[in-house]
Amino acid sequence: MRSLSGIKPTGDLHLGNYFAAMKQHIELQDECEGFYFIANYHSLTTVKDADYLRQLTLNVALDYLAMGLDPARACLFRQSDVPEVTELSWILGCVTGKGLMDRATTYKDHVAKGIVPNMGVYCYPLLMAADILIYRSNIVPVGKDQVQHIEFTQDMAGYFNQTYREVFTRPEARLNETPVVPGIDGQKMSKSYGNFIELFGDPKAVRKKIMAIKTDSTPVEEPKNPETCNVFALLKLMATPEETAAWAQRYRAGGMGYGEAKKRLAELYEERFGPRREARARWAARPDDVEDILRTGARKARAVAQAVMADVRAACGIVTAPSL
């Protein structure tokens, strides 16, 4: 069983990235073979600064390693170290209709917001499908808002298999039980909205953000609904089930201000990510070791990708010289 996922380096990773994706990736390394890539090709749709992209790419590797990804049990690599993925993206484009691309959520969101999308945004689902199919991935751990990408990938695999012959494995989404992680303004936590809490932010700066989380104006003495509270939504991601239940009871009983829950959330954040911040600093001091991990992962991933592409080329009649 092979699990495949990627994280796009477009800014500092945050709690939304961790609870919606990274946490699941790290847990899965005990259950199946994990292939996890840093999606730097995908970042080109928005990041236009070369030095910044190089740093962001390294940052994602550091974050994964600091949070417990074991390179002996999971394959961590850069998307760009497997150039075959862009070749497959083109071939998938040759069997996929424009109508499917028109229905892509990311493209439609750009249009709805009046943003003129570049062709990278429009063709994003093609490259994402290639990322998944080229490693014969069985499962793709995603949140509910990412299911469309897996459905598109299934469609494209079918288009190719029907046009030529059976080459691709049908991937299945593995849904994360974590709901949408709210940002400090109540919207989905996102780098795009600037409402995020970093994984490894400065403790004082993070505490300030947590204390600024948007809440309603229910008086201290009145009962409160934990299910509609942004603070509680984040707190229950980090507290034990027993503590979460106790906080829910306090909310409903009244006599508690949101500030108390925010202070506890700040403590839970530091308990979980403080030690990892130190681990990240140790990895950052060993850039050559990090590069070795990424290259080793790339060699393993590319060996799989090259075998798949040999089957793809044979199926559709693309001839390449053995070596040039």
Chain segment 283-308, per-residue pLDDT in tens: 999 999 999 999 999 999 999 999 99
Measured at the alpha carbon of residue 18, what is the angle toward residues 80 and 88, in degrees to the nearest 5?
25
- How far is C-alpha 148 from the chain's CA centre? 15
Q: What is the pLDDT of residue 324?
A: 65
Q: What is the pLDDT of residue 144?
A: 75
Domains, the chain: 2-180+287-316 (3.40.50.620), 203-281 (1.10.240.10)
- What residue ranges in the chain does DSSP mark as E strands? 2-7, 33-38, 74-78, 139-142, 172-175
Residues of the chain with pLDDT under 50: none
Answer yes or no: are the C-beta atoms of 256 and 224 closer than 8 Å.
yes
Residue burial 55-68, b: 16+ Cβ < 10 Å; e: rest: ebbbbbbbbbbbbe
Q: What is the pLDDT of residue 266?
A: 97
CA distances to 64, 72, 293 from 290, rounded to whole Å, are: 11, 13, 5
The one-letter code for the residue type at 155 is D
CA distances to 187, 225, 276 from 233, rounded to whole Å, are: 12, 11, 22
Answer yes or no: are the C-beta atoms of 171 and 35 closer than 8 Å.
no
Answer yes or no: are the C-beta atoms of 75 and 34 closer than 8 Å.
yes
- Say how many Å lie between the first and final Cα of the chain, rounded: 35
What is the DSSP code (8-state) at residue 107?
Answer: H
Strands 74-78 and 139-142: unpaired
- pLDDT of 212-271, one tens digit each? 999 999 999 999 999 999 999 999 999 999 999 999 999 999 999 999 999 999 999 999
- How far is C-alpha 178 from the chain's CA centre? 13
CA distances to 157, 160, 312 from 165, rounded to whole Å, are: 10, 7, 9
3-state percent helix, strand, coil for the chain, nearest multiple of 5: 55, 10, 35
Q: What is the pLDDT of residue 109?
A: 84
